[in-house]
Structure 1
Amino acid sequence: MASLDNELDRAGRMPPTDRTSRVPTTGAGLRNAPILANRNLRPAVLVVAAIAAVAIIGALVAFGPELWNFFTNGEAVRAWVDAQGPFAPVAMAALVIAQIIIAVLPGEPVELAAGYLFGFWEGTTICFVGGLVGTVLVTALVKTLGMRIVRLFFTREQTEGVAWLRDSARFELIMFVVFLIPGTPKDILTYAAGLTTCPWWRIALITCVGRIPSIVTSTLAAGFASEGNWTAAVMTGVITAALVGAGTIAFAAIRRREQNKAKRG
């Protein structure tokens, strides 16, 4: 199976890199290394992280008990959200969009927050709309900038790890099945899909419909929790965890089978 980077190099969509190392560190290759893995930025990142940690700890000590009492009261939280008017759902949708674009952020906490703050139906709608907009933006960026935008968030190993999906003859069907399974790495797959010749609207349709099971389980559990129905919330969480475990196994099996087919082909 050909390397994604090699194919895109020949297409002229990315500058040449130093092939002697897995993660280029100098010259043009540095531009293709993921920014978040750049060693030169690590000291600054550590300082910022330390300052943020101290600020968070201080805030928790000062306001923790009051915030806990507020956020564990679903009715009070929902009333506060309603008081924000149309700004609240727009801000929540923007957070969903940002999570999909930044990609390194996990999506489940955002979906749980949407379900808790807005309830099942509105939270699901917000996640679906935000997911649609985020997917279209990611697809447009990848189709325009190619591997240059992918390298901002993912290493070479990560992109090569999903090359089997891009190279599959049944790309669209397999991508849809993979997106239906909770627990699969949907965000990197969205970026990988943008590297194919599949039209943007088909990618958006496949990924958004495929995200529905993951969104529904998260917002449903959080919605039950906000209503104080902890039994239903825990049961939904257990079912979701089981689906995630099964999804991880199924994803590994699908990837292994497609990689074996590519080797035989």
Structure 2
Amino acid sequence: MKPYSKHIVVKILLGLITALSLGLLLYYAADIIKIMSSMDNFRAYIHSTGHWGPVMFILFQVLQIVVAPIPGEIVQVAGGYIYGAALGSFYTTVGLILGSAIAFYFTRFIGRDFVSRLLQKQNVKWMSFMQDERKFSIFLFIFFVVPGLPKDMLVFVAALTSISSLRFFTILLVGRLPWIIGSAAVGSTIQTQQYTVAIIISVIAVIGFVLGYIYKDKLINLFSRAEHANKTPKMEEIIEAVETKEAKENKETNKVISAVKAKAAPALNKSRDIATVKNKG
């Protein structure tokens, strides 16, 4: 089988798997909504699965990343509510990595055209200028750190850019881990009825969310202006500059060689004349 044929087959198989997964998700949508209606319902369902509880919790976190309508805050807080701050943060982080990996690699290798059209329909103009990996890395970090910004959508957007996988997932963890731990801590304090601590953490989170939502456009515009002011040359520009410099140096070298030849020509001609006379003699 030719390489391009294998690529097409892989795309078809993964497309069928995706369609089947979405079909199952829609079929069980009512049950999922009921389970996610409250943390008590969610905890009861997770406990009812026995030893599979952590796996099911991670699966819900994966779905939260891949399927935007599922509220991530409920899952993250519920992690601490069910398993405590430490384990809740761990399971949530595992789900975050798996869900982000599915969304990222699906978009990059299979659904690039589909996601591009979807984002165009959503009119995501403020993401279109982030094509440079260095600039986009800073952009991602700001979005992942500041609450109230569309973090899950950024996973799909990042896959459309040239950012490396290692860089993306490093930024993802560094930016989102503090808020995951904070959410799990809120859930843990609610479960242990330490409501004062839960209220303090929640108020800080809400303030951060509101400020992030209000000033997100200003942050983006400020970042954009700063990047344009300190614009670094692209690789193509660097190569062109080097080639131009080399061309100029070669031109100067050729001029020097031509000048040396011109100066040496009379002496060479005289030597040839002397040699000719001697030969005749």
Deviation at 1:240, TM superposition (A): 0.8
1:97 aligns with: 62
User: In the alignment, does 2:191 pair up with 1:226?
Assistant: yes
Q: Which runs of 5+ in 2 are unaligned?
A: 1-25, 232-281
1:159 aligns with: 124
Q: 2:176 aligns with which of 211, 223, 241?
A: 211
Distance 2:117 2:62 in 1: 17
Deviation at 1:252, TM superposition (A): 2.0
Task: Give the counterpart letter for 1:92 in structure 2.
Answer: F
Larger Rg: 2
Q: Which runs of 5+ in 1 are unaligned?
A: 1-44, 60-66
Deviation at 1:97, TM superposition (A): 0.8
User: In the alignment, does 2:40 pair up with 1:71?
Assistant: yes
Is the contact made by 1:179 and 1:186 (CA closer than 8 Å) also made in structure 2?
Answer: yes
Is the contact made by 2:131 and 2:162 (CA closer than 8 Å) also made in structure 1?
Answer: no
Deviation at 1:154, TM superposition (A): 4.5
2:211 aligns with: 246
Identity across matched positions, percent: 24
1:116 aligns with: 81
Task: Give the counterpart letter for 1:183 in structure 2.
Answer: G
Task: Give the counterpart letter for 1:88 in structure 2.
Answer: G
Question: Larger % of helix: which?
Answer: 2
- Secondary structure at the counterpart of residue 164 of structure 1: coil
Report the count of equivalent residues. 203
User: In the alignment, does 2:150 pair up with 1:185?
Assistant: yes
Deviation at 1:187, TM superposition (A): 0.8
User: Larger deviation: 244-253 or 132-141?
Assistant: 244-253
Q: 1:148 aligns with which of 99, 113, 117?
A: 113
Deviation at 1:209, TM superposition (A): 2.1
User: Larger deviation: 128-137 or 96-105?
Assistant: 96-105
Distance 2:114 2:102 in 1: 12
- Secondary structure at the counterpart of residue 86 of structure 1: helix
Distance 1:220 1:153 in 2: 35
Deviation at 1:131, TM superposition (A): 0.7
Is the contact made by 1:101 and 1:138 (CA closer than 8 Å) also made in structure 2?
Answer: yes
2:97 aligns with: 132
CA 1:186–1:166 in 2, change beyond 3 Å: closer, same or farther? farther
Deviation at 1:118, TM superposition (A): 1.3
User: Larger deviation: 156-165 or 215-224?
Assistant: 156-165
Distance 1:139 1:212 in 2: 18
CA-atom RMSD, angstroms? 3.7
Deviation at 1:221, TM superposition (A): 0.8
Is the contact made by 2:84 and 2:184 (CA closer than 8 Å) also made in structure 1?
Answer: yes
Distance 1:207 1:114 in 2: 19
Distance 1:83 1:141 in 2: 32
2:139 aligns with: 174
Task: Give the counterpart letter for 1:71 in structure 2.
Answer: D
Is the contact made by 1:182 and 1:213 (CA closer than 8 Å) also made in structure 2?
Answer: no
Distance 1:95 1:81 in 2: 10
User: In the alignment, does 2:170 pair up with 1:201?
Assistant: no
Deviation at 1:212, TM superposition (A): 1.1
TM-score by length of 1: 0.64
Deviation at 1:81, TM superposition (A): 5.4
Is the contact made by 1:141 and 1:149 (CA closer than 8 Å) also made in structure 2?
Answer: no
Give deviations 1:173-215, integer Å, cap 9, x for gaps: 2211321122211011111111111122221121122111221
Is the contact made by 2:46 and 2:56 (CA closer than 8 Å) also made in structure 1?
Answer: no
- Secondary structure at the counterpart of residue 170 of structure 1: helix
CA 1:221–1:140 in 2, change beyond 3 Å: closer, same or farther? same
Task: Give the counterpart letter for 1:230 in structure 2.
Answer: Y
